[in-house]
Amino acid sequence: MAEQALVDKVQAMVGREYGRVYAWDRVNAPMIRHWCEVMGITNPLYTDSAYARDQGYADVVAPPGMLQVWCMGGLDQENFPEGSSTENNFEVLKVIEPYGYPAVVAVNSDLTFDRQIVAGERLYFTSRLDSVSEEKTTPLGTGFFVTVLMTYFSQSEQGEDEQVGKQLFRVFKFKPAQRPENKPDAKAEAKAIKRPLPGVSDDTRFFWEGCEAGKLMIQRCKDCQTLRHPPAPVCSKCHSFEWDTQQASGRGELYSFVVMHYPEVPPFDYPNPIGLIELDEGVRLIAGLVGVGPAELEVGQRVEVEFARFDDQQTLPQFRPVAQ
Ligand code: ZN
């Protein structure tokens, strides 16, 4: 249980507002072009001013996803243009920390956009401590979800500044959970935790039913025969809603992989190798890798599917390396 003094202090801070943080530069075409190059975005609305004018804009439009970019401090952290607030909009973390919650992890961020932003505009944001949750326990540890809401404005030369978007940013400020080996009964506790079940919909049921039957089923467009995975309601090639399925050979190669080390979330075994498999049929899927040590994994190695039953409630495809 969190100390009442901490809870009181923190709740008294909720709603606190933090001043303006200005952008170093006006929204501009070179930064937009660089961002689009990095992200692989080719929409001419962002890079071709003549095209943007044809669409009714004064100049190129900034991709909405860039909202946060304009008011960033640059390479030196907390380096903002003159006139910017020097307050720390996450100061509540410093209040929580001395009560025994040293760790922090970003949880999620939601962006909302009020309108398109066009080259030439100058932005700033203000922040508000939106909420601090009650103390929660997650597999990572015990602590508080802290949510800060940043509101972005376009500065007006004359008249009122206009709100252009919002960014909600949530972090978890926590006391890390003890590593399982420090707790004598942790192994037994971890065993009792079951694997999370997949969300099953009309579009994905065939896949999970296939697994139960020991078959790796792939969705196929009825009109153009294109295979797709993960399952989706519509063909990305011909936009047909008609589909059936095909049983895959179950053979393919390791296209890429990661090895999960930390945090160790029960009931999974660690290190936990996870592969992106390119099936011989051409589609890729993500699955656990078995029968191979993390150091022996190699991109391009041949793998074959096998099915394993977990918790007496679900069957999952796994891939095992096979001879070339
Ligand atoms: Zn199709």
Tell me the pLDDT tens digit for each residue of 15-45. Answer: 999 999 999 999 999 999 999 999 999 999 9
Q: How far is the CA of 47 from the centre of ligand 1 (A)?
A: 31
Q: What is the pLDDT of residue 56?
A: 96
Q: How far is the CA of 129 from the centre of ligand 1 (A)?
A: 48
Q: What percent of the chain has pLDDT over 90?
A: 82
* Pick from 75-84, 284-293, 295-304: least confident: 75-84
Q: How far is the CA of 237 from the centre of ligand 1 (A)?
A: 5
Q: How far is the CA of 248 from the centre of ligand 1 (A)?
A: 18
Q: How far is the CA of 228 from the centre of ligand 1 (A)?
A: 9
Q: What is the pLDDT of residue 236?
A: 92
Q: What is the pLDDT of residue 205?
A: 95
Neighbours of ion ligand 1 (CB under 5 A): 221, 223-224, 226, 235, 237-238, 240
Show me where the domains of the chain are located: 4-176, 205-321
Q: How far is the CA of 163 from the centre of ligand 1 (A)?
A: 42
Q: How far is the CA of 306 from the centre of ligand 1 (A)?
A: 29
pTM (predicted TM-score): 0.60
Q: How far is the CA of 285 from the centre of ligand 1 (A)?
A: 19
Q: How far is the CA of 242 from the centre of ligand 1 (A)?
A: 8
CATH of domain 205-321: 2.40.50.840
Residues in Cβ contact with 288 at an 8 Å cutoff, skipping those fewer than 6 apart: 272, 273, 274, 275, 316, 318, 319
69-75 contacts at long range (C-beta below 8 A, 24 or more positions apart): 69/31, 69/35, 70/23, 70/25, 70/27, 70/117, 70/123, 70/152, 71/21, 71/22, 71/23, 71/123, 71/124, 71/125, 71/152, 74/24
CATH of domain 4-176: 3.10.129.10
Q: How far is the CA of 214 from the centre of ligand 1 (A)?
A: 27
Q: What is the pLDDT of residue 182?
A: 55
